Amino acid sequence: MPHRIIIPDRYERCKPLDDCMHEECGVFGIFCPDGSVEPAEAAYFGLFALQHRGQESAGIAVANSGGIDYHKDMGLVPEVFRDGSLEKLKGGYAAIGHVRYSTTGDSLLTNAQPLVISSKKGQLALAHNGNLVNARSLREELESGGAIFQTTIDTEVIASLIAKHSADDIIDAVTRTMEQLKGSYALVIMTGDCVIGVRDPKGIRPLALGRLDSAYVFASESCVFDTIGGEFIRDLRPGEILVADRNGLKSYQGMHAADSALCLFEYVYFARPDSDIDGIAVHRARERAGEMLALSNTVEADVVAAVPDSALSAAM
C-alpha cells in the first residue's frame, strides 16, 4: 500500500492523497482563421502528445461562427473523443484543449476543462495548468460580490475574475486578473476572435508558441509541435500575454517579477524527454543530473535502475 498523507483541500474537507505529484496539467491552443488547419483535429493530437501531463479528464472547446462548442469527459484523450464527438467539433477557426491531473478540486466531470463561461464581451473558454495559492480568498471575495461557482477548481476563479473585468478590453481584463493572482499558471484563453496565451510572472509553468501552416499554436511543451507537424517558435516569457488573432501575433507584458522560477520538476519528472523548456533540452538536463549524481555519490554498482520512467535519461 502506498504511504498516504493528509493535505487540506482548498475548498472542501480534508482528503487523503497518494504521495505522488498532481501538478502537471497540459494545455493547448490554436488559432487558424483561413481554414488551412482543422483546429479540433490539431487539438486532439496536441492533447494526445500531452497525455503524460494529465490522465483524469480531457476536453476541447472550439470557436466557430455560432459561438463556442465543447466536449469534455473523464478518461484518456482517445476515450473522451470517440463515438463521433470529435467530428461534431470540426469546422471552427480556433480551439483550446486540456488534459488534467487534479491540483485543487476533486476528480469529477464538473471540474474538467476547458471551462466555458459567458461575460459582458460574449463567451470565453479557458484552460489552466498550475495552482493558485490565494484561490480560496479570491473565491470568497467573488462569492461575497454575488458570483456563483459551479466547480471547486481554482481555474474557475481565474475565469470569474476575467469575466468581472470583461467590460474592459480583454487584454486589460487579463492584466487586471494577473495582478490579483498568486501562484503558478499557464493559461490558454479563447474568445470569439482570438486565442491568448498567458504565463505567470515567474514562469513557474511552461508555455510554448509554435506554428502549423498559417495557424499559431500554444502548448505546454514543445514536443506537441513535432506531433502535429508544426514548428516550435519560442517559449513565452514570464508574465507575457501573447495574442493570436486575424492580424497575427501581438505581445503584451503583464505582471513583472524580479526573477524567474521555472518549476524544477518540469525537468525532473513532468515533461517529456523530447521537449525543450526555456532553451534547455529536458533529456540533456536529466542526463546532466545523472552525471552529477554519479560524481557526487560514487559507488561500485552492477546495475543502475531508473525509477520512475522519467529517470531513464539520468540512469543512462
Q: Buried b / exposed e across 3-19, counting CB within 10 Å, b at 16+?
A: eeeeeeebbeeeeeeee
The answer to whether residues 130 and 183 touch, using CB atoms and an 8 Å cutoff, is yes
φ/ψ (deg, to 5) at 284: -65, -40
d(CA 271, CA 187) in angstroms, rounded, equals: 17
Helix/strand/coil (H, E, C) string of 140-208?
HHHHHCCCCCCCCCHHHHHHHHHHHCCCCCHHHHHHHHHCCCCEEEEEEEECCCEEEEEECCCCCCCCE
| Cβ-based neighbours of 167, under 8 Å, separated by 6 or more | 120, 121
Is 20 catalytic? The answer is: no
Query: Residue 250's closest CA among 261, 241, 263, 259?
Result: 241
Among 20, 25, 223, 263, the active-site one is 25
d(CA 33, CA 92) in angstroms, rounded, equals: 8
Asked if residue 78 has a cis previous peptide bond (ω within 30° of 0), the answer is no
Per the structure block, which three cell numbers stand in for 75?
478518461
Catalytically annotated residues: 25
